[in-house]
Amino acid sequence: MPADFDVTIIGGGVIGLACARALSHNRSVLLVEQHFVFGSETSSRNSEVIHAGLYYPPGSLKESLCIEGRQKLYRFCDDHDVPYKKIGKLIVAPDEENPELIRLEQKALKLGIPLSRLSASEIKEKEPKVRAAAALFSPETGIIDSHTYMLRLAQEAEKSGATLMKQTRFLQATSTEDGWLLNLDTEDGEYTISTNVVINAAGLHSHDVALRAGVPASALPTLHYCRGHYFSYQQASPFQHLIYPLPEKNLAGLGIHATLDLGGQARFGPDTEYLTGHELRYGVADHLREKFANAVSSYFPCLESASLQPAYSGIRPKLSGPGQPAEDFLIFETNSEKKSKILHLFGIESPGLTSSLALADKITARLPTAT
Ligand SMILES: Cc1cc2nc3c(=O)[nH]c(=O)nc-3n(C[C@H](O)[C@H](O)[C@H](O)COP(=O)(O)OP(=O)(O)OC[C@H]3O[C@@H](n4cnc5c(N)ncnc54)[C@H](O)[C@@H]3O)c2cc1C
């Protein structure tokens, strides 16, 4: 008997939705999301920056999918009326011959990412309020309305026939001869459906989902929750572009930067704070203001710290712990020799939003060809 669905995707964040859109062209697709709104976890708790692809380890999926994903994302925004602005970004350094700045410059050249060095007068002209001895300008960096983007992905998937179910929680997967039986908890009670392939795009819960699909805990990479806080700036934005300091050691974060939303409001963040345990705690403590004021005033000396207001936070599902080198996105496949294929997506932290369309295409290419 044919399965109910060719593919079932667990998780309706930006990655699950991008997969649903890509796969529904020629497959029957079910996507289940436990919450009432798609993308209400990490996908709506980020900087909404379309990254150029400068920072990531050479040859990593983060690097290649960010570069490819950025191009695909700008095209998608144009074609589907998703608001964005390619406003560009300054990466600023306190000294002229900063080795990290030189490294980024050389890397951009090698990868073909547009990037130019700004002279002191050009920095002043572009961003009069910024203090920096040297800066790079990345014209390909932009900001996006991530909520409209996810809405369009969902609409496109549904147009191609995908079934997208909210308030539906995946409970358990049992492997069969040629696929899977999935237990789902819906508003109307528990259901069991059959599917050939499963994609685990559950973000911060991807390990829990893997365990519920029978992957032994010993086979799973360690998952670290790393929270990033944001403070909004309660004054007119002092900047026209995104302003980034040099990235943190081991790329734990990109440094407390200044981003703008599409309405022109400035905010600062995110920092990095590793959490103990796997509880989703999104509070932004008021006492962090001092840490933010110190970091931001290094490139924005006129900052009035009283204008910093705790705003929101997001949690990165990291595969690297404190002080460890950055890990790549991981597409983890169990049952590869069987017909009942399951792909787990682990460690989809930044630049996951930028990479989403390219990652979805990569996953599509790893699935059996549609009949
Ligand atoms: C602080 C921060 C800043 C960032 N900034 C940027 C940026 O500027 N640019 C960029 O490109 N990227 C950025 N990112 C990364 C980006 O936000 C993520 O890579 C992306 O949102 C991950 O999407 P996802 O779909 O994998 O996860 P999520 O959005 O977390 O989606 C997973 C979904 O799975 C659902 N789910 C889990 N378990 C179940 C279950 N059992 N049953 C049903 N549903 C389930 C959850 O409810 C959730 O909605 C940032 C991330 C953080 C934390």
- Mind listing the pLDDT tens digit for each residue in 284-311? 999 999 999 999 999 999 999 999 999 9
Residue 338 scores a pLDDT above 70: no
Residue 150 scores a pLDDT above 90: yes
Of ligand 1's listed atoms, the one at least distance from the Cα of 259 is 8
Q: What is the pLDDT of residue 148?
A: 98
pLDDT tens-digit readout, 249-284: 666 667 899 999 999 999 999 999 999 988 899 999
**At 193, which helix (H) or strand (E)?**
strand 189-200
Average pLDDT, the chain: 94
Q: What is the pLDDT of residue 267?
A: 96
pLDDT tens-digit readout, 191-202: 999 999 999 999
Q: Is the CB of 353 under 6 A from ligand 1?
A: yes
Instruction: Summarize the confidence of residues 29-54 as an average pLDDT.
Output: 97
Residue 124 CA, chain-centre distance (Å), reads 32
Domain 5-46+147-221+327-366 matching CATH 3.50.50.60: the answer reads yes
Q: Is the CB of 204 under 6 A from ligand 1?
A: yes
Cβ atoms of 40 and 167 closer than 8 Å:
no
Residue 227 is which amino acid? R
Residue of 38, 40, 43, 345 best suited for mutating to test ligand 1, as the one with most atoms within 8 Å of CB? 43
Q: Is the CB of 209 under 6 A from ligand 1?
A: yes
Q: What is the pLDDT of residue 25?
A: 94
Residue 78 scores a pLDDT above 80: yes
Which has the minimum average pLDDT: 19-28, 59-68, 92-101, 167-176?
Answer: 92-101
Of ligand 1's listed atoms, the one at least distance from the Cα of 270 is 1
Q: What is the pLDDT of residue 272?
A: 93
Q: What is the pLDDT of residue 166?
A: 97
CA of 83 to the centre of ligand 1 (A): 20
With a pLDDT cut of 90, the percent of the chain lying above it is 88
Q: What is the pLDDT of residue 2?
A: 85
Helix 61-80 crosses helix 146-159 at what angle (to 10 degrees)?
80
Instruction: Summarize the confidence of residues 314-321 as an average pLDDT.
Output: 96
Q: Could you list the beta-strand ranges (E) of 201-325.
A: 224-233, 242-244, 257-260, 266-269, 273-274, 308-318
Of ligand 1's listed atoms, the one at least distance from the Cα of 201 is 26
Residue 225 scores a pLDDT above 80: yes
CA of 43 to the centre of ligand 1 (A): 4
Residue 242 scores a pLDDT above 90: yes
pLDDT-derived band at 371 (thresholds 50, 70, 90) equals low
**Measured between alpha carbons, how far is 335 from 16 in angstroms, rounded to an integer?**
20
Q: Is the CB of 254 under 6 A from ligand 1?
A: no
Q: Is the CB of 347 under 6 A from ligand 1?
A: no
pLDDT-derived band at 185 (thresholds 50, 70, 90) equals very high
Q: What is 87-139+223-318's CATH superfamily?
A: D-Amino Acid Oxidase, subunit A, domain 2 (3.30.9.10)
Where do the structural domains in the chain lie, given as residue ranges?
Answer: 5-46+147-221+327-366, 87-139+223-318
Q: How far is CA 245 from CA 67, 91, 200, in A?
A: 21, 6, 34
Residue 8 is which amino acid? T
Instruction: Summarize the confidence of residues 87-109 as an average pLDDT.
Output: 93
Q: What is the pLDDT of residue 246?
A: 86
Residue 190 scores a pLDDT above 80: yes
Residue 131 is which amino acid? R
Q: What is the pLDDT of residue 258?
A: 96
Which alpha helices (DSSP H) does 135-205 contain, by range? Answer: 146-159
Place of tokens 């997208």: 164
